[in-house]
Amino acid sequence: MDRPLRLIPTETTQSAELARTLEALLVVASQPLSLEELQSACEADAEEIGDALELLWKRYAEGSSGIVLEHVAGGFAFRASADAAEACARLFERPAEKGLSQAALETVAIVAYLGPVSRPEIARIRGVNVDGVVAGLVERGLIAEGGRDNEFGAIRYRTTPLFERVFGLESLASLPRVDDLGADVGEIRERLEAVAEKRTA
Task: List binders of its own copies among 59-78 (CB under 8 A).
Answer: 65-67, 78
Per-residue x/- marks for its own copies, 42-61, CB under 8 A? xx------------------
C-alpha 162/C-alpha 139 separation (Å) is 12
Q: Is 98 in the site for its own copies (CB under 8 A)?
A: no
Are the CB atoms for 130 and 123 separated by under 8 Å? yes
Beta strands in 55-149 (DSSP E): 67-72, 75-80, 117-118, 143-148
C-alpha 173/C-alpha 146 separation (Å) is 18
Per-residue x/- marks for another protein, 30-69, CB under 8 A? xxx-------------------------------------
C-alpha 201/C-alpha 191 separation (Å) is 15
Q: Is 172 in the site for its own copies (CB under 8 A)?
A: no
Interacting residue with its own copies among 50, 51, 57, 81 (CB under 8 A): 81
Q: Is 198 in the site for another protein (CB under 8 A)?
A: yes
Other CB atoms within 10 A of residue 25 CB: 15
Q: To the nearest whole angstrom, how small is the minimum distance from the Cβ of residue 84 to its own copies?
A: 3
